[in-house]
Amino acid sequence: MSTAHVPGFRHIHAGKVRDIYEVAADPTLLVMVASDRVSAFDWVLPTEIPDKGRVLTQMSLWWFERLADLVPNHVVVPGAPEGAPPEWHGRSIVCRRLAMFPVECVARGYLTGSGFADYKSTGQVCGVRLPGGLLEGSRLPRPIFTPSTKAPLGEHDANITMAEVTELVGAPVAGEVADLTLEVYRRGAATAREAGILVADTKLEFGRDPATGATVLADEVLTPDSSRFWPVEAWHPGSAPPSYDKQFVRDWLTSPASGWDRASGEPPPPLPSKIVKKTRDRYAAVFERLTGRLLDTGSG
């Protein structure tokens, strides 16, 4: 998706997936546009996944509505602004400009990914000691807050402890975002389970509203990019179930079929059409299974 000049908006940031524009008439407002780009292993891949940005935007809006009583969010207009180009429709929102906290707020209800790797080597995740004998995919006794750094594009997030979060943002904010992260996770996990989906873990971002001083939920929430979604019927301790997210892409990239050596420093190859289709289908399937809605693919 192009980031060419759009009258009335100034492009100020390009992330792995999202492009951020400032509203020229009111710099306190931003437009967040979710592209179809997909990242893996700290690379933005050369192949896009059709409708991925629409899934992320529409699913985030669905969740923001259902979490509004727990924490305010940054949404001002749940859609494209007036004067937006057609390709923004269904994949953009107008939001308040926030002072973002420099922490990725992660909640885990199941042991997998980097958390499982840390547990195997130390018995802990982000300084939280866990019982012995847990397996890949084990349900944790209770959800835990396992924050990480917010790495620049091309660099890797690193798990950190609550003490390190306190050093970054101060004790009051650290305690608040930890509590909010776990509240959002519990609500999200309970809601998703009703649709037959387990939320293994999720990553959230928060910021401070300069106008009110409130802590605000921002960016995306409980999407296939920011969460691991597992089908309830496929889960059992001892392995990670097939997931409704880009794990399918990661698995192909690390398979012999891709021909890519992750350690080489060379960028990943383009994705084959069958991998693109299966990944797109997974994103659409979890959206529709969770929300009970058909994905609005629009015309842009």
Lowest mean pLDDT among 52-66, 89-103, 243-257: 243-257
Report DSSP letters for 132-166, one per residue.
Answer: TT--TTPEEEEEEE--EE-PPTTS---B--HHHHH
Q: How far is CA 96 from the centre of its chain?
A: 19
pLDDT tens-digit profile of 34-48?
Answer: 999 999 988 999 999
User: What residue ranges define each of the domains in the chain, with the CATH number in brackets?
Assistant: 99-246 (3.30.470.20)
pLDDT tens-digit profile of 237-296?
Answer: 999 888 888 888 999 999 999 999 999 999 999 999 999 999 999 999 999 999 999 998
Helices marked H in 206-264 — which ranges? Answer: 247-253
Q: Look at residue 1 and tell me whether its pLDDT is greater than 60.
A: no
pLDDT tens-digit profile of 192-251?
Answer: 999 999 999 999 999 999 999 999 999 999 999 999 999 999 999 999 888 888 888 999
pLDDT tens-digit profile of 117-129?
Answer: 999 999 999 999 9
Percentage of residues of the chain with pLDDT beyond 90:
88
